[in-house]
Amino acid sequence: MARVGVVGASGYTGGELLRILATHPDTEITYATSREYAGKPITAIHPHLRGFYSTLKFSNVSLDEMLKKCDILFINTPQGVASELAPKLLEQGMRVIDLSPDFRLKNQQDYRVWYGFEHPRPELLDKAVYGMPELHREEIRNAELVACPGCNSTAALLALIPAVEAKIIELPRIVVDVKVGSSEAGIKPSLGTHHPERANVMRPYEADGHRHVAEVEQELKRLAKEEIHVALVPHAVGSVRGALATAHVWLAQDVDEQQVWRLYAQRYGREPFIRIVRGAPFRYPDPKYVIGSNFADIGFAVEKRIGRAALMAAIDNLMKGAAGQAVQCMNIMLKIDEKAGLNNPPLRPA
């Protein structure tokens, strides 16, 4: 049994980790932090976990306790926390899976540009492995530090990877729109995310350069071996969970839908959490049919008349977009079944 700790366990991604790991066959949660709920039971903030974790209480963040109690640690905190905490743990031999943006980017300058943040430990950026198994499975296996992708980035990348690798689309410019549910904003309401303001919205935000663009460009550049420019416009929608990315691309080759299908089926054929969606009546991916699961549903439409395609990916932002993908990485790091704890179908209706 691997002893697992969760820092930021009172938030949404932390809660989702606790939910997944409650029935994981090879791990035991030994440490869960919350500064606000320290000393209180897990159900004080996660009532859906009643009956699990009867002896576990939230702790305050303590380096010594983490080192004593855990072999592997998930960090689910806002930007700027993991880059202070992780280095001290890594020095003591702990393996760290960070869900925040602190280690996703390779280039220190990009943190200044996209996050307005002076990275305190830039030497660790090269050591961190971008935690998307579909791109970095072999490096994740022996990684000490895994930086899990953002939810919008996960959906955008999964929609685009095969097309960019095979260069069937025109580069370097790609336009992506993302629709995403309210849980992406975390558990603490702000004016924009407070329920009365957020319910029923279809609201674009950060339309002139969302932070997730940096990691999407970084990973696509690596695949294409050329400069890539991504315009990504997220839209807040009324659902609680779910993200749908649609990449609007021009075809560089004369391919029809059957050929695109074959390309995607070949690229993702062995991926345990990718499903290619095709055929009526549910012709295109819809986050509604992945909720509660680690699946990413991928689909496409080819408009031959004008040489255009729409490449789409639907995920649950808290699962494949956060905690599910993080557990998938942990399973790879522990060299156990990659699907352990994650092998459940989505909810329906959700």
Which residues would be at the binding site for ligand NAP (CB under 6 A)? Answer: 8-14, 34-37, 61, 76-79, 81, 99-100, 150-151, 183-184, 186-188, 317-318, 321-322
* Nearest-approach distance from CB 143 to ligand NAP, in angstroms: 18
C-alpha–C-alpha distance, residues 153 and 133, integer Å: 14
CB-wise, 215 or 297, nearer to ligand NAP? 215
CB-wise, 82 or 247, nearer to ligand NAP? 82
CB-wise, 14 or 285, nearer to ligand NAP? 14
Strands ordered across the beta sheet of 229-237: 202-204, 229-237, 173-180, 243-250, 308-315, 296-303, 274-276
The question of whether 151 is a catalytic residue gets the answer: yes
Q: Which of 70, 148, 151, 329 is catalytic?
A: 151
* Nearest-approach distance from CB 316 to ligand NAP, in angstroms: 9
CA distances from 36 to 10, 39, 250, 256 (A): 8, 9, 49, 55
CB-wise, 294 or 317, nearer to ligand NAP? 317
* Nearest-approach distance from CB 260 to ligand NAP, in angstroms: 28
Q: Which residue is nearest to ligand NAP (CB)?
A: 11
C-alpha–C-alpha distance, residues 288 and 175, integer Å: 23
CB-wise, 150 or 287, nearer to ligand NAP? 150
CB-wise, 90 or 318, nearer to ligand NAP? 318
* Nearest-approach distance from CB 243 to ligand NAP, in angstroms: 8
* Nearest-approach distance from CB 101 to ligand NAP, in angstroms: 6
* Nearest-approach distance from CB 77 to ligand NAP, in angstroms: 4
Active site residues: 151
